[in-house]
């Protein structure tokens, strides 16, 4: 039987990607970990494949890298070559990259080094910093498939505005990363490039839809990557791989000329944001971008510079703590992470009050109705164009949409009105905490998990998650790592009782810590709309409290 055309295209794309990895960066058979080796996170340190200097460079944060390049201690070319080598290894071990432009990155690094030698200064605050991008972002000359066979072999001629801004600030682009087809799944898998694995345990997902980015940054094959989030696509992957991240409010980061699904759907908007290794790297990303005045390039961007005064926080903060949404509770690893964070914040002199976001259940219903208003027509057009099949998990959702009546325009408007009513109720409840925080202010942020469970096995699906509220109400939301799954501490207590049928389903889905061995465990801190400066500052406070 002849190979279907779509499979031929996929094979060609994968071969093209493999050929772009230089021979010197391909893992020799004698070095390569066994196929059944689950944890490959520390392979670069233990394999002997990297030099000591390459390890020092790639283990650094983005903030440390730009500081050393600006001081003349490191050359941009050395940094780029080290990170491209590590990215090459990441691709070979966890399958996280879609498009490679290493040669172009090295050439740009040489140009930046020549400029620095000639002028004695950098061209911008990101001078020499290699940055990876989720596949959605257009880089001239590269494909932007977003996981669809039908979009392969169509290199773009117009770059995303964010790409322009990053280059203006001195960044170097070297790779784009894997996504799920449709961009609407919690696992990164598609028919073009296959499945991305979690470097902490290759039997587990790195999340989605920014799962290629989370795997690459976690493996230290990127200092800082840019993902997108419409329902958890920055927050879930960062939580699953031990990263910091930020889903900003819409219009703080340019989304102009970014490939996407749901084009024209504006009831709930996808946003771009950083995925990285420290709160200082998030600050570097936002302060650098706003210094480029993105509103002069993108009419959707708000003319708001980085407001340094908003980073100044009161000495004593008060956080709401959300142990679930009143219908589902966190599984043991997430509950333990919550308790660890609470203890650390109290020890640092901050306040904590219980704040269950019951509103999430309604938010999930509203946002699902928004996402399914076209009955999957957006997805079907791209899939049917090549004859490729839907992934089984995605097919379930398509079948569900097909089976229900398509909403009328009036019903769609009414659903959007529910969002406005919910936003008002959420705001008033938040303001109402002023009387119980002990600070004279409402809560500063809400800390909770983004999913009830840690990273799950491939193709397991999500019976429930807490990704809807932030995009629906456009709330600035940060992500921070706390711990990792513990095989002894994270067993389900013998006296545990579910608070609902769905709660039981989620705990059954969790199964026990052995199903998530070595998985990182992270949480989110939710602020108000357009509170990027404050949320970044709160991430720094939380990180410091957990360290101490």
Q: Exactly one of 13, 75, 134, 534 is catalytic; name it.
A: 134
Q: Which residues contact 11 (CB under 8 A, 6 or more apart)?
A: 3
Q: Mark whether 209 is an active-site residue.
A: yes
Sole residue written with tokens 């905490």: 433
How far apart CA 311 and CA 305 sit, in angstroms, is 13
For residue 403, what are the contacts with CB-CB under 8 A and spacing of at least 6?
none
Q: What angle do CA 359, 360, 364 make, to 5 degrees?
A: 125
CA pair distance 516, 494, nearest whole angstrom: 19
Is the previous residue joined to 209 through a cis bond, with omega within 30 degrees of 0?
yes
Per the structure block, which two tokens stand in for 455?
């990273």
At residue 69, what are phi and psi to the nearest 5 degrees?
-70, -40
Active site residue 75: no
- SS3 assignment, position 379: helix
Alpha-carbon gap, residue 159 to 257, rounded angstroms: 7
DSSP 483: E
Q: What is the DSSP letter of 252?
A: S
List strands edge to edge, sheet with 477-484: 97-100, 172-177, 130-134, 224-229, 271-276, 244-247, 477-484, 520-526, 445-448, 318-321, 351-354
What's the CA gap between 536 and 290, in Å, rounded? 15
Residue 113 · residue 70 · CB < 8 Å: no
Nearest to 394 by CA among 406, 386, 385, 402: 402
Is 183 annotated among the ligand-binding residues?
yes
CA 480/CA 272 separation, integer angstroms: 17
Identify the active-site residue in 233, 249, 288, 470. Answer: 233
Q: Is the dihedral of CA 320, 323, 327, 328 positive or negative?
A: positive
Kindly give the pairing relationship between strand 271-276 and strand 172-177.
Answer: unpaired
Please tell me the distance from the alpha carbon of residue 353 to that of residue 346, in angstroms, as a whole number: 11
What are the phi and psi torsion angles at 483 (to 5°)? -160, -160
Collapsing DSSP to helix, strand or coil, 225 comes out as strand
The catalytically annotated residue of 209, 218, 222, 270 is 209
Q: Are 272 and 282 in contact (CB under 8 A)?
A: no
Q: Answer yes or no: is 324 a known binding residue.
A: no
72 marked as binding residue = no
Give CA–CA dist 127/133, Å, rounded: 17
Return the half-sphere exposure (C-beta side, CA atoms, 13 A cut-off) of residue 260. Answer: 19
Asked if residue 97 belongs to a known ligand binding site, the reply is no
Tokens of 463: 């019976």
Beta partners for 205?
197
CA-nearest of 386, 417, 459 to 189 is 459
Strand partners, 226: 133, 274
Binding site annotation covers 232? Answer: yes
**Which H or E run contains 413?**
helix 409-431
- Sequence ranges of the binding site: 183, 209, 230-233
- Sequence ranges of the binding site for substrate: 183, 209, 230-233
Residues classed as catalytic: 134, 209, 233
């Amino acid at each position: 039987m002849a190979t279907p055309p779509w499979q031929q295209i996929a094979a060609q794309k994968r071969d093209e990607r493999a050929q772009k990895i230089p021979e010197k960066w391909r893992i020799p058979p004698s070095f390569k970990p066994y196929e059944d080796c689950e944890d490959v996170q520390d392979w670069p340190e233990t394999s002997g494949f990297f030099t000591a200097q390459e390890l020092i460079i790639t283990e650094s944060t983005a903030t440390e890298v730009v500081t050393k390049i600006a001081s003349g201690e490191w050359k941009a070319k050395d940094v780029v070559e080290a990170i491209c080598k590590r990215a090459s290894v990441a691709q070979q071990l966890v399958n996280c990259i879609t498009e490679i432009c290493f040669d172009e990155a090295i050439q740009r690094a040489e140009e930046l080094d020549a400029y620095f030698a000639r002028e004695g200064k950098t061209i911008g605050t990101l001078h020499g910093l290699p940055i990876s991008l989720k596949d959605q972002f257009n880089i001239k000359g590269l494909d932007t498939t977003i996981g669809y066979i039908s979009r392969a072999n169509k290199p773009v001629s117009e770059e995303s505005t964010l790409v322009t801004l990053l280059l203006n600030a001195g960044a170097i682009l070297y790779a784009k990363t894997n996504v799920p087809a449709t961009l609407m799944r919690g696992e990164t898998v598609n028919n073009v490039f296959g499945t991305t694995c979690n470097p902490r345990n290759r039997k587990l997902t790195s999340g989605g839809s920014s799962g290629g980015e989370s795997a690459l940054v976690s493996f230290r094959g990127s200092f800082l990557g840019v993902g997108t989030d419409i329902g958890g696509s920055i927050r879930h992957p960062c939580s699953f791989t031990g990263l910091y991240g930020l889903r900003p409010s819409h219009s703080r980061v340019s989304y102009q000329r970014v490939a996407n699904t749901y084009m024209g759907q504006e009831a709930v908007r996808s946003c771009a944001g950083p995925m990285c290794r420290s709160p200082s790297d998030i600050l570097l990303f936002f302060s650098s971008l706003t210094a480029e005045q993105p509103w002069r390039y993108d009419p959707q961007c708000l003319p708001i510079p980085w407001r340094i005064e908003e980073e100044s926080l009161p000495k004593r903060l008060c956080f709401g703590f959300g142990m679930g949404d009143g219908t589902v509770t966190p599984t043991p690893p997430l509950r333990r992470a919550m308790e660890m964070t609470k203890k650390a914040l109290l020890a640092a002199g901050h306040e904590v009050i219980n704040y269950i976001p019951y509103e999430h259940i309604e938010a999930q219903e509203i946002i699902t109705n928004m996402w399914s208003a076209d009955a999957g027509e957006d997805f079907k057009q791209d899939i049917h164009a090549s004859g490729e099949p839907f992934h089984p998990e995605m097919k379930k959702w398509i079948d569900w949409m097909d089976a229900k009546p398509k909403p009328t325009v009036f019903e769609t408007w009414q659903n959007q009105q529910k969002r406005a009513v919910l936003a008002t109720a959420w705001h008033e409840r938040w303001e109402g905490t002023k009387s119980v925080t002990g600070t004279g202010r409402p809560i500063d942020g809400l800390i909770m998990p983004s999913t009830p469970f840690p990273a799950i096995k491939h193709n397991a699906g999500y019976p429930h998650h807490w990704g809807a509220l932030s995009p629906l109400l456009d709330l600035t939301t940060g992500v921070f790592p706390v711990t990792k799954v513990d095989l002894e501490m994270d067993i389900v207590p013998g006296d545990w009782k579910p608070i609902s049928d769905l709660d039981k389903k989620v705990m059954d889905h969790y199964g026990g810590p052995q199903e998530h061995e070595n998985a990182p465990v992270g949480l989110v801190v939710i602020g108000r709309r357009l509170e990027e400066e404050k949320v970044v500052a709160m991430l720094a406070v939380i990180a410091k409290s957990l360290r101490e």
